[in-house]
Amino acid sequence: MAETYHKVFVYGTLKKGQPNEYFMNMIPSVEYLGTAETRTKYPLIIGGEWNLPMLLNREGEGKTVKGEVYRVDKDALERLDQFEGHPDFYERTEIDVNLTNDDEVLSTVKCWTYFIKDYSEKDVKQEHFSLYDSAGCHGLVYDARENDEHPSQS
Ligand code: PCA
């Protein structure tokens, strides 16, 4: 039977050089397709107890968000869902993403991405980022204990 593939846009800790990059590298079927940005704006904040990058599903607010696109098979998508706590913690949703080379747009593709499910009005008012970096000058370093404590693992 032909394998079904999915595209996933990652904007946070799963990106290259970020704290959970290892998780993408652990899944042999995952294939990197390149750099990308959201076609429309969304608020990307760093928040919560563990300084998590959180994309809020409020299209048109915030900034164009930069990240990476990966091709994954069904098994890899299920592993990612579990890791991100879909559908209770992060919620996997399909959005339009522009594949980019430097700032040139190569094509627009539909990708899954993980939006944070619950957030407050206070969260919305936090600084909106265009590019997540755990070691950025914001000083909000990612706390890996998240992976032991967030609801998907309990
Ligand atoms: N991991 C996913 C969602 C937020 C996070 O830290 C990602 O990198 O896209």
> Is 94 designated active site?
no
Count Cα atoms within 13 angstroms, Cβ side, for 51.
14
Looking from the CA of residue 12, the nearest atom of ligand 1 is: 8
Q: Choose the CATH number for 5-136 among 3.40.50.300, 3.30.70.3270, 3.10.490.10, 3.30.70.1140.
A: 3.10.490.10
Q: What is the pLDDT of residue 153?
A: 43
What percentage of residues in the chain have a pLDDT greater than 90?
A: 83
Q: What pLDDT sits at residue 139? A: 85
Q: Where are the domains of the chain?
A: 5-136
- Report the alpha-carbon distance of residue 137 to residue 127 in Å, rounded: 13
Band (146; pLDDT cuts 50, 70, 90): confident
Whether the CB-CB separation of 15 and 53 falls below 8 Å is answered with no
**For the purposes of burial, counting CB atoms within 10 Å of the CB of 4, is it exposed (0-12), middle (13-18) or buried (19 or more)?**
exposed
pTM of the model: 0.94
Residue 6 bridge partners (DSSP): 72
The residue from 37, 84, 121, 146 that is catalytic is 84
Check: CB of residue 37 under 8 Å from CB of residue 100.
yes
Instruction: Inform me whether the pLDDT recorded for 13 exceeds 80.
Output: yes
Pocket, ligand 1, Cβ cutoff 6 A:
10-15, 52-53, 84, 90, 114
Q: What is the pLDDT of residue 145?
A: 86
Rounded to an integer, the average pLDDT of 107-136 is 96
How much is the pLDDT for 149?
75
In tens, the pLDDT along 60-118 reads 999 999 999 999 999 999 999 999 999 999 999 999 999 999 889 999 999 999 999 99
Paired tokens of 14: 């799963």
